[in-house]
Amino acid sequence: MNYSHMQLVTTSTTDAGVLHRVKTALTPMTLDAKLDQLTSVADRIALEVAGYKQRVADIEWDAKNYTNLNLSNLLRKKQSCRFSLARVKLHVETALHKRAIEVLKSTDETSARWKDRLRRDLIYRTLFSQAKWLRAVLSHVKAIPTSQMRRESADEVLQAAVAPDQKLRRLSLDECNQQALHFSSLTHLLSSTPPTATPTDEPCKSYLAFELFLTASLFHKTDLGMAFESHCCSSLASLSSTTSFHTLVGQVSRALADEHDVPLSQEQTLRRLVRQMVYARLGAAFITPMAASLELDQVAWKSTVTARARSRALKHLPEVGLPASPGWFTRSITALEAMPTFMPDRIVDGFMKVMTTLHEDVAGTLGQPAASMSADVILPVLVALVLHCDLPCLHLQTYAMETLALSNGCDGGEAAYYVALLQAAMAHSK
């Protein structure tokens, strides 16, 4: 369906009401706050249509003026997107509004549960998280003055910086960036990046530094960068990608590693950052093919989470020497419920934190070292744990960890081992 010609239908006949809806549609909010703005399905559809049409107009304006930056365009109040990242964000927001319209159109207009339907829709959730993530990155990247966004050649740097008595040599690209932009090299950035990040669905400082480096080094103006941006925009329009997630990550990682002489010891850290960069732009395109199946699996699994199932799981705990009550693993419950739901690598970080907490809870109760806990002890506890938690996105989280963060040899065996243990616990809980 082509929504660019849809009429704005509202329950209010005043212009003020229409303008309020448009303003609400385009204002960044948390998911719950945005959903709580309206109570009528018709009003919400009107809001999303307004947002969609505005974003389509922004994309058309940018496409028209991006290659025509003459004086008259510069003097206009509305200019084309300065950053490649901003263009991708526009396409993400367009896809977000379009998806909301599709979901709401398929919802019974008399139903009061349309908000829950949007919350449960994995494609909508992913697009919403992408938009939020990209807004945070863009606000950070915009701190770079436009005048500094140019790579000086090695000869330019030599001419300006080398003393007459020094031996002339051609500087590397990283050295040029460091002297001309006062910006750390990629290898220095990678060496200062921790192996894990705080398990939240927000970009951390090291990731923001990576995005800043990509912008400062004009990655988006390279052949690969332009091809990647084009692929992002076309994939977001159809919510499908002709190139697999790990292929894209591999291509970008290899290009950056070759250009910036990244040593082998830092390639895993680089791939981790690139995975986040690719997923922040294209996450919904990789979730869409599996979204319906994951939602059905989630509903089917949730139907098995009953008081009887919880009681049965607790009864197995004394077999490994643990109390048959959930009181002793409340810290693990809190950690599992707080696990991120968007970025695959952050979900893994959060899940590993859960397993660390669970080991500590079990070890403290048994009076044994945490490192001595075997799968025979952890598995029945993990079954009880998932049954005592509110996990509305558990199947999405498991899929993201297994398929997007840990497959293709992207991470060590410990995380993969615990994800397999989680899958076994989910199967045993049915």
Residue 180: band (very low, low, confident or very high) from pLDDT cuts 50, 70, 90? very low
The two three-digit tokens of residue 405, written as one number: 């963060």
| Rg value, the chain, Cα | 25
Overall average pLDDT of the 355-370 stretch: 91
First to last CA, the chain: 40
- Looking at domain 290-429, its CATH architecture is Up-down Bundle (1.20)
Q: Kindly report which listed range (182-196, 296-310, 312-326, 341-355) carries the lowest average pLDDT score.
A: 182-196
Residue 106's pLDDT is what? 87
Question: Residue 296's CB: how many other CB atoms inside 10 A?
Answer: 11
Residue 108's pLDDT is what? 72
* Percent residues over pLDDT 70 in the chain: 75
Residue 35's pLDDT is what? 53
Residue 181 has pLDDT above 60, yes or no: no
Q: State the DSSP code for 266.
A: G
Does residue 117 contact residue 103 with C-beta atoms inside 8 Å?
Answer: yes
Residue 62 has pLDDT above 60, yes or no: yes
Q: State the DSSP code for 400.
A: I
Does residue 94 contact residue 56 with C-beta atoms inside 8 Å?
Answer: yes
Q: Which residue has the higher pLDDT, 369 or 239?
A: 239
Overall average pLDDT of the 10-28 stretch: 49
Q: Kindly report which listed range (54-68, 193-207, 273-287, 369-383) carries the lowest average pLDDT score.
A: 54-68
Greatest pairwise CA separation for the chain in angstroms: 83
Q: Which residue has the higher pLDDT, 387 or 27?
A: 387
Q: Which of 337, 255, 239, 333 is nearest to 292 (CA)?
A: 239
Query: Mind listing the pLDDT tens digit for each residue in 381-426?
Result: 999 999 999 999 999 999 999 999 886 555 558 899 999 999 999 9
**Nearest-angstrom CA–CA distance, 357 and 401:** 19
Q: Which of 275, 222, 214, 219 is nearest to 244 (CA)?
A: 275
Average pLDDT, the chain: 81
Residue 42's pLDDT is what? 84
Residue 142's pLDDT is what? 81
Q: 191 — phi, psi (to 5°)?
A: -70, -25
- Give, in degrees to the nearest 5, the angle at Cα 51 between 49 and 52: 65
**Nearest-angstrom CA–CA distance, 138 and 86:** 7
Sequence letter at residue 173: L
**Nearest-angstrom CA–CA distance, 396 and 400:** 6
Overall average pLDDT of the 92-104 stretch: 95
Q: Which residue has the higher pLDDT, 317 or 150?
A: 317
The two three-digit tokens of residue 371, written as one number: 């490192």
Residue 184's pLDDT is what? 53
Residue 118 has pLDDT above 70, yes or no: yes
Overall average pLDDT of the 251-280 stretch: 94
Q: 172 — phi, psi (to 5°)?
A: -75, 165
Residue 411's pLDDT is what? 54
Q: Which of 350, 90, 407, 5 is nearest to 201 (CA)?
A: 350
Residue 239 has pLDDT above 60, yes or no: yes
Tokens 């615990």 correspond to what residue?
Answer: 418
Tokens 């660019």 correspond to what residue?
Answer: 4
Q: Kindly report which listed range (107-121, 135-149, 210-224, 270-284) carries the lowest average pLDDT score.
A: 135-149
Does residue 309 contact residue 429 with C-beta atoms inside 8 Å?
Answer: yes
Overall average pLDDT of the 170-179 stretch: 47
Residue 10 has pLDDT above 50, yes or no: no
Does residue 8 contact residue 18 with C-beta atoms inside 8 Å?
Answer: yes
Residue 306's pLDDT is what? 92
Residue 28's pLDDT is what? 59
Question: Residue 311's CB: how many other CB atoms inside 10 A?
Answer: 12
Residue 40's pLDDT is what? 80
Sequence letter at residue 238: S
Does residue 197 contact residue 346 with C-beta atoms inside 8 Å?
Answer: yes
Tokens 């990155």 correspond to what residue?
Answer: 137
Does residue 360 contact residue 352 with C-beta atoms inside 8 Å?
Answer: no
Q: 46 — phi, psi (to 5°)?
A: -60, -40
Overall average pLDDT of the 175-197 stretch: 69
Q: Which of 81, 117, 75, 78 is nearest to 100 (CA)?
A: 117
**Nearest-angstrom CA–CA distance, 351 and 419:** 8
Q: Which of 218, 203, 184 is nearest to 139 (CA)?
A: 203
* Percent residues over pLDDT 90 in the chain: 56
Does the reported pTM lie above 0.95?
A: no
179 burial type by CB count under 10 A (0-12 exposed, 13-18 middle, 19+ buried): middle
Q: Kindly report which listed range (25-34, 84-93, 119-128) carries the lowest average pLDDT score.
A: 25-34
Query: Mind listing the pLDDT tens digit for each residue in 319-360?
Result: 999 999 999 999 999 999 999 999 999 999 999 999 999 999
- The structural domains of the chain, with segments of one domain joined by +, span 175-287, 290-429
